[in-house]
Structure 1
């Protein structure tokens, strides 16, 4: 991603007097034009980068300039390193060069302590299964974001409606355990959030776009879904044989043992179709005790599922 590349270029310039734009472009697999835009961004951040013309020229820092090492402490560098490791674990490759460069600025006498800090917490975002189509979508969307070109795809809504969308991609979002694309929908003329698992026939177009200002205070993956008007307080009861599932999916501090050997707990979830699918995924070991309207709706969905398999239940085995 761009911020990784900018940091890598700065660290390279700190360690080399001159470097060719073409070498940087090959190193980061981007165009020379993109490298020059990066140099403008670095200059805009207050780091004086100078371009020298001629056969012995290249890109370098202004003579005498040194980056204040106090700008980033060792603890902050370790935090950045840990974050890059986490992102690289799934759908965020290409950070190894930056991690190597960060390691290169740590004095040898402090390297053991630095490595200790970077292994105190490991966040592995990769799934248990092997390579999935989702990873290919992430790779393609990262390319579209880098090149600032639109993408098209078929999108299946939570209600099952299929629409064809053309999107100006703005950012990839990992919320909970799901990946989303936040972008400007040309059909709706507004920003929308799209779950990657609901995309089909994703294609990158050659049509460029100019990024708009994102209203950061209104980002849809914030806390808006927690609004009391959109959520329900659910009282759940797990049967004794479902205790392991309760302990797998819910905080053990919230689980209250009951007189039957099971668990009861109260959780808050958004009231939508996802909720009923999630609750039904626990099968017969879970019962919703309240509220009544969620309990009734869950019963309707369960009866619909049972009706779909009714013929199989009556046929001789």
Structure 2
């Protein structure tokens, strides 16, 4: 138990720098006296660790101290390389490949080429990549950002925010940030975020340990029951987990989906090969929309 605590103490000091003995004691659920005994044990083992008294005192490691690679087990080294391989496959982490090469040489292990992921569409991703990289820079450098945002309520607002994290959820990238306009944390979908500017203004808030507890602000969901023409079977089987067929070969599927402005567009994207069976109010809404479309084309 003590050996595990000693290693965890070193990792904490490497990450955060100087830490008060009381804070370490509270974190590891031991007494302050035990922490100082741990400091003595680490010092005796040759670790350059120091305890300074006073109001601004605390426990810290020598700034030039680094962990030896021998402190990582073979399994831990493998897990690090496997994790980096996954990151290298994700859009926005294209610099990770060089890091993997260096760590492979340091660990004297072959790089595990175990996964390939591509979140890109068939369209050019240059602008999306630039946006992603700029937001990553703003988060790492704690720079305030400003941008125009188009909400699902068809409104455009000018926002200023402290960026916290990039989040991939539901096949889309989001920025989680503290919005200075709303004075609260918000999710912003990257595809609706335009005219991004990184300000010279920085912020001191430390969001590195922030746990994102809020869910995406989505409207209430509805349970859809849909009927599809068999000519669209390729797409239906791509998008729905459970699909039933009748004797005519038509397909039936159900799903729970937020009742947002995008719902009607999603249904209409199936063209004349879909029919909404339930709920009745969605069926009526689609009927009215089709009437407006027909009227527009007739005019």
TM-score range for the pair, normalised by the shorter chain length: 0.7 to 0.9
- 2:79 corresponding residue in structure 1: 76
Q: Are residues 134 and 306 of structure 1, via their aligned partners in 2, closer, same or farther at CA, if it must alter by over 3 Å? A: farther
Distance 1:42 1:158 in 2: 40
- 1:152 corresponding residue in structure 2: 146
1:184 aligns to 2:181 (yes or no): no
Asked whether the 8 Å contact 1:150–1:168 carries over to 2, the reply is yes
Q: Secondary structure at the match of 1:61?
A: coil
TM-score (norm 2): 0.73
- 1:232 corresponding residue in structure 2: 222
1:86-105 to structure 2, matched below 5 A, reads 86-87=89-90, 90-105=91-106
- 1:276 corresponding residue in structure 2: 264
1:61 aligns to 2:65 (yes or no): yes
Asked whether the 8 Å contact 2:240–2:253 carries over to 1, the reply is no
List runs of 5+ in structure 1 lacking aligned partners.
Answer: 1-38, 51-57, 312-317
Q: CA deviation at 1:275?
A: 1.4
Asked whether the 8 Å contact 1:242–1:262 carries over to 2, the reply is no
Asked whether the 8 Å contact 1:42–1:49 carries over to 2, the reply is no
- 1:130 corresponding residue in structure 2: 124
1:218 aligns to 2:232 (yes or no): no
Q: Secondary structure at the match of 1:73?
A: helix
Which deviates more from structure 2 when the two are superposed, residues 141-150 or residues 73-82? 73-82
Q: Post-superposition, which runs of at least 4 consecutive aligned residues in structure 1 deviate over 6 A?
A: 44-50
- 2:254 corresponding residue in structure 1: 266
Asked whether the 8 Å contact 1:237–1:264 carries over to 2, the reply is yes
Deviations 1:90-143 (A, max 9, x none): 2223212321133124445xx3xx63xx32x32222332223422221121111
Asked whether the 8 Å contact 1:168–1:184 carries over to 2, the reply is yes
Alignment RMSD: 3.1
- 2:15 corresponding residue in structure 1: 41
Q: CA deviation at 1:166?
A: 0.5
Q: Based on CA coordinates, which of the two structures has the bigger radius of gyration?
A: 2
Distance 1:66 1:239 in 2: 60
Distance 1:219 1:158 in 2: 18
Asked whether the 8 Å contact 2:81–2:104 carries over to 1, the reply is no
- 2:167 corresponding residue in structure 1: 173
- 1:9 corresponding residue in structure 2: none
